[in-house]
Amino acid sequence: MSPSVAPKTAVLHNIATRIRIDSVRSTTAAGSGHPSTCCSAADITAVLFFGEMRYDPQDPHRVDNDRFILSKGHAAPLLYAAWAEVGIVSREATLTLRQLDSDLEGHPTPRLPWVDLATGSLGQGLPAAVGSALNARRIGSDYRTYVLLGDGEMAEGSVWEAAQSGQFHQLDSLCAIVDVNGFGQSRPTQFAHDVETIAARWNAFGWHAVIVDGHDVEAVQRAFADARATSGRPTVLVARTLKGKGISLMEDKPSWHGKSLKAGEEEDTAIAELEAQLVPEHGAGRPAIPAPSGRVDRPDPTGPKAMDAPGYALGDLVATREAFGTALARLGAADARVVVLDADVKNSTFSDRFEKAFPDRFYQAFIAEQVMVGMAMGLAGRGAIPFATTFAAFLTRAADFIRMAGVSHLHVKFAGSHCGVSIGEDGPSQMALEDLSLFRAVPGCAVLYPCDAVSAERLVAAASAHDGMAYLRTSRPKTPVIYGPEETFPIGGSKVLRHSATDAITIVTAGVTVFEALQAAETLAGDGIAVRVIDLYSVKPVDEPTLHRAGTETGLIVTVEDHYAAGGIGDAVCEAVSPHGVRVVRVAVPGVPRSGTPEELLDLNGLSARALAATVRRLVSAR
């Protein structure tokens, strides 16, 4: 590079070069990682962190900091190297990459204060960035959100869900950068360096697409300025780059995905080559980092206001999904941090009650569950308490986002309606029969399953207050209110609804089958068989002491669930009591169901009062 280069350009070029050097050094020290993808995005990153983004390097928690999401999470060393340039981490620390006692993991996680959410499952950064940009609008801040994508991950449909959400919500504070280095892991991407075709797609999705040479720091600065000047729609920089840029051994070579350079001659040669690219004259120092504006029109409260007790009378017939909608609107009044997301089923989940009360805190994702959850992750990462709501069956569409929300320890709340065969005629495609399993497999996620309107309302508030993820499972049929308005439902608890000193067996269940179990117990009492019935409204964490005592006292637990046997209530109960050798028999939906009335389907699948009574009789007589 010639000495006639403008000083800021030379300075940024030198920062990018040092980022490349650090990325090589850290991955070689680790013996694994992705230096080639760090090199393609180094110039873009240098521009972003030195002059484009407004943030306070001393305070990662400032709510008005511009945000950066590294969607191509395998380029983590790039991020850590940029931080080293900023002074957020030490240069020595970057050499602890991927070590057990270092928070500089193989892919970024929120163990690091500047990371709002874990990345590494591709295609999730842009959906979360949409949530971050919505959050700026929510709190009345002018912070901007930047997200760096790989070109390979544009194949993920979730990227296009996010693109259309960005368009729909007119998020001009959102700026994506696609690092078009042309290579995926195992082969060239579908479009290689055809930036025009890529830009045409983004334009068709309503974005302002700017094609730019991703190694020309002046051009990249101009493109960011163009983005900042664009209103009413988000901008994407389609940046043509070379994988491994700056290192002749790997530059634009297909075989260097996910490989570190060998320590010794290979590393030394690459470092020497990069160091030779540093511009000595005018290339010293670092540009000032612009401060955030300080504008936050609607700062978040620190906690919820007190809520009145639920307003139901014993015996009222209310579906838990409807009670959920009512409770959500009440919670919204008590806590301004609560926001709700819908995937075009708000009139079935009853989340429309929240929308009616708080239209500005209700986000429509249309039929795109991945971006719905991704938006919720982005909002949760910035202080909101989002409830993502749809049919429970369709939350499985976002299973990988749910998994990553768990990895990120994000306080996203999920509510799934229409669980189980009790939805009836719509048939198996609409029935959630694996949702308890899905959410139980997320560390720290509370799994709540109310049977009546009072417990539903109490558990909505409990889910919101829970320090972590929470899932609330609601049902379609109307069920009678059995709990008084003052009853409380702590997470991790259960309710023993029926018990005696002579109980021969315990039924543990939740949701609509609570009523089938109670009715079966009534029938069996007439036959002289006393049955304990437990409402396991908190499927996770589970009330181990109560279950253990019931198992010990009655000798046999039957778990009953409108769900498949794997991973649900039966599993939760076994996890609690099998270490003690308690007998547990599961009653669950035995195979793929079909259409029919709710009553017919409960009976056909062994979950009706009649079927449960028969099962208990058989078990008791066999002892």
Site for a second copy in 184-203 (CB under 8 A): 184-187, 189-190, 200-201, 203
Q: Does residue 486 have an active-site annotation?
A: no
Adjacent-strand bridge partners of 564: 589
Where do runs of H (alpha helix) occur along 344-425? 346-349, 352-357, 369-380, 392-395, 399-407
Q: Tally Cβ neighbours within 10 Å of residue 4.
A: 8
Report the DSSP pairing between strands 413-417 and 362-364.
unpaired
Q: Does 342 bind a second copy (CB under 8 A)?
A: yes
Torsion angle of alpha carbons 105, 217, 146, 88, nearest 10°?
Answer: 40
Minimum CB–partner distance for residue 23 and a second copy (Å)? 15
Distance CA 377, CA 369 (A): 12
430 or 519, CB closer to a second copy?
Answer: 430
Among 364, 465, 496, 519, binds a second copy (CB under 8 A): 364
DSSP for 504-536 reads -EEEEE-TTHHHHHHHHHHHHHHTT--EEEEE-
Residues 412 to 431 in contact with a second copy, rule: CB under 8 A: 425-430
3 state SS of 303: coil
- Which of residues 167 and 277 has its CB atom nearest to a second copy in the complex? 167
Q: Which is nearer to a second copy, 158 or 474 (CB)?
A: 158
How many CB atoms are closer than 10 A to CB 126? 33
Is 131 an interacting residue with respect to a second copy (CB under 8 A)?
Answer: no
Q: How far apart are CA 58 and CA 56, in angstroms?
A: 5
Please give the structure tokens belonging to residue 190.
């579908």
What does DSSP assign to residue 52?
I
Cβ-based neighbours of 22, under 8 Å, separated by 6 or more: 77, 80, 81, 84, 91, 94
CB closer to a second copy out of 54 and 201: 201
Q: Which is nearer to a second copy, 14 or 608 (CB)?
A: 608
- Report the run of H or E that residue 148 belongs to, with start and end: strand 145-150
- Residues 433 to 452: which contact a second copy by CB under 8 A? 433-434, 437-438, 440-444
> Residue 291: which of 423, 156, 142 has the closest Cα?
142
Residues 535-564 contacting a second copy, CB under 8 A: 540, 564
Q: Segment 560-599, which members bind a second copy (CB under 8 A)?
A: 564-567, 570-572, 574-575, 578-586, 590-592, 594-597
Tell me how crowded residue 617 is: count the other CB atoms within 10 A of its CB.
16
Helix (H, G, I), strand (E, B) or coil at 215: coil
Residue closest to 74 by CA, chosen among 108, 25, 100: 108
- Segment interacting with a second copy (CB under 8 A) among 120-128, 273-281, 308-316, 509-517: 120-128
Enumerate residues 5-64 that contact a second copy by CB under 8 A.
30, 32-33
CB of 324 to a second copy, least distance (A): 16
| Least separation in angstroms between CB 145 and a second copy | 20
**Cβ closest to a second copy, residue 230 vs residue 364:** 364
Catalytic residue among 105, 267, 322, 369: 369
Q: Which of 7, 60, 106, 606 binds a second copy (CB under 8 A)?
A: 106
Which of 213, 600, 606, 610 touches a second copy (CB under 8 A)? 600
Shortest reach from residue 449's CB to a second copy, in Å: 15
Alpha helices in 276-319 (DSSP H): none
Query: Is 478:442 a contact under the CB 8 Å cutoff?
Result: no
| Residue 129 touches a second copy, criterion: CB under 8 A | no
Looking at 50-58, 341-349, 410-418, 524-532, which segment touches a second copy (CB under 8 A)? 341-349
Q: Is 155 in the site for a second copy (CB under 8 A)?
A: yes
Question: How far apart are alpha carbons 19 and 511 in whole angstroms?
Answer: 55
Q: How far is the CB of 591 from a second copy (least distance, A)?
A: 5
What is the rounded CA–CA span in Å between residue 285 and residue 519?
A: 77
Site residues (CB under 8 A) for a second copy, limited to 515-534 = none
Query: Is residue 156 near a second copy by the rule CB under 8 A?
Result: yes
Cβ atoms 246, 277 nearer than 8 A: yes
- State in angstroms the smallest separation of the CB of 538 from a second copy: 15
Interface residue with a second copy among 282, 403, 610, 617 (CB under 8 A) is 403
Binding mask 82-101 for a second copy (x = CB under 8 A): ----------------xxx-
Give the DSSP letter of residue 188: B
Least distance (Å) from a second copy to the CB of residue 74? Answer: 8
Q: Which of 102, 230, 269, 277 is in the footprint of a second copy by CB under 8 A?
A: 102
Least Å from the CB of residue 47 to a second copy: 26
Q: How far is the CB of 547 from a second copy (least distance, A)?
A: 12
Radius of gyration of the chain (CA): 28
Catalytic residues: 369
